Chain A
Amino acid sequence: MDRDLLKQRLEVALVPSVKGEFRVDSLELLTGGSAAQTWRFTLQRATGAAEYILRLAHEGSLFELAIDKRTEAAVQTHAVAHGVLAANIIHILAPEDQLGEGFVMDLIRGETIPQKILRQDQYRHARRQLAAQCGRQLAAIHQVPIQALPYLRDSSVAPQLAQLHAFYTGFGEVIPVFDYAFRWLGENMQPCDQTTLVHGDFRNGNLIVNEQGIAAILDWELAHLGDPMEDLGWLCVTSWRFGNNDLPVGGFGSRQDLYAAYESAGGRCVNEDAVHFWEILGTLKWGVICLYQTTVHLSGEERSVNRAAIGRRVSETELDLLALFNAR
């Protein structure tokens, strides 16, 4: 959809959610990620101007591990209501808006690009806080009441592993290290005594960071119910350390800081074996997602050099899996 048509339809769509006279201004595409587009715009009102973000799902088939945009918006809203740092959603798109699936939320200023967060001097102070802040945010997410989230699927370890395996075998690509990892995970499944909300993609890259640290948590589209240790493991996956391998938490912090803050903020007692298990599963999952991305290109569903290139990142995840198996 071109920008002018999008702007026109967005102005109509926002009428029920925005009080008084307004117009949409400075609509700009920020990123066309693989799962969704992110647009920024200004809402001009008599009372002043404010900036917002429009998240729009891509047309076509939904990435099968993800939830739809309406569900994502509902989960994010519920998490915000329970004290989690995420953007307030002001409008969920309806079919009559003719914009596809998506929602509009407050723009929260800060940096999301991991390499900048890890290397730029202005985030020096923030970097020292981030691991503990992640621990507190994850503890908050895992304490969100789940009775209000009956529409989220149970993706605790056994169903999640089965789903990931079916996803992998569906591509017809043979990666023996992955088969070995699937076997190991099947033999070493960790018991979990409590089901919580799991963000599912809590990592460096989905955090809006300012000079003080985390300003907001983004990308709730992989949210599900399951083992809270999954989020801790995923946050430590080597791919999200962006070269800082000696700082296991997102490339910015230590496990001790993460675990201590998590436990003292009311999170469950950290089971390090379970975190290790989920780190292996997470590394494998990222590898399978790379395979999926490249399949979208190879099948002709969406041709893109970016999706082609990501197929050659699979070997990175194979190497990280071997390092994880070597570690214990």
Chain B
Amino acid sequence: MAGNRPNVSELVESVREMMEYLLLHKLVDKSQVYHTRVAVNVLKIVERELAQGGSFTQLELQSLQHLLGMSGELSDLNDELVARINQGEFDRENTELTAHFLRTVTAKVAIDNPEYATYKNYLTKGELSHC
């Protein structure tokens, strides 16, 4: 059963707006300003994660099943992936592992910090670059 409005995203958004627009500019203590900014940022992460409605977990699960050729729980599959990496499976040129990492990590950064320069460059160029 869904609860009454506001829904969970709207509730989080309301707290974030209160902190960002009503509280922050009233604070004087540098440490309190800093921690409040961090808290606002945390709520933005929550808002982004809620907005994509758990599709990341689905994406990671399907990508792992495809890569490992087996089904199972997410945590078991990740353990299996780590075990295979440590056993020396997947050489340097393994395109399937690279594709899996790229898919899952970019999806995480899209939630955690879409402003991150490496991620923005990736979106612009369509590939990861480093200089």
Considering only CB atoms, which chain B residue lies closest to A310 in the complex?
B38
Which A residues are CB-close (under 8 A) to B102? 322
Is A166 an interface residue when CB atoms closer than 8 A count as contact?
no
A154 interface residue (CB < 8 Å to B): no
Report the interface size class on chain B: 35 or more
Q: Are B119 and A319 in contact (CB under 8 A)?
A: yes
Bound together, the chains give a CA A312 to CA B112 distance in angstroms of 6
Given contacts A174-B82, A176-B81, A319-B116, contact A312 B45 (CB under 8 A): yes
**Chain B interface secondary structure, helix, strand, loop or mixed?**
helix
Chain B residues with CB under 8 A of A305: 35, 38-39, 42
Residues on B with C-beta less than 8 A from A313 are 112-113
CB <8 Å contact, B117 and A241: yes
Binds B, one of A191-199, A225-233, A243-251, A265-273: A243-251
CB-CB under 8 A from B38, the residues of chain A are: 305-306, 309
Asked whether any CB of chain B lies closer than 8 Å to the CB of A17, the reply is no
Residue interface mask B74-95, A partner, CB < 8 A = 1: 0100110110011010101000
Q: Is the CB of A245 within 8 A of B121?
A: yes
Residue B128 is within 8 A (CB to CB) of chain A in the complex: yes
Q: Give the chain B neighbours of A238 by CB distance below 8 A.
A: 117-118, 130
Closest A residue to B31 using CB positions: A32
Known: A245-B121, A306-B38. A312 touches B130 (CB 8 A): no
Taking a contact as CB atoms closer than 8 A, the residue among B98, B108, B118, B131 that contacts A320 in the complex is B118
| Size band of the interface chain A makes with B | 20 to 34
* CA–CA, A244 and B121, complex, Å: 11
Q: Is the CB of A309 within 8 A of B78?
A: no
Q: Tell yes or no: B105 within 8 A of A by CB.
A: yes
B50 within 8 A of A: no
30 A-B pairs with C-beta separation under 8 A? A32-B31, A174-B78, A174-B79, A176-B82, A177-B101, A179-B85, A179-B86, A183-B88, A238-B117, A241-B117, A243-B117, A305-B35, A305-B38, A305-B39, A309-B42, A312-B111, A312-B112, A313-B112, A315-B105, A316-B109, A318-B109, A319-B116, A319-B119, A320-B130, A322-B101, A323-B122, A323-B129, A323-B130, A326-B98, A326-B127
Binding site for A on B (CB under 8 A): 31, 34-35, 38-39, 41-42, 45, 75, 78-79, 81-82, 85-86, 88, 90, 92, 97-98, 101-102, 105-106, 108-109, 111-113, 116-119, 121-122, 127-131
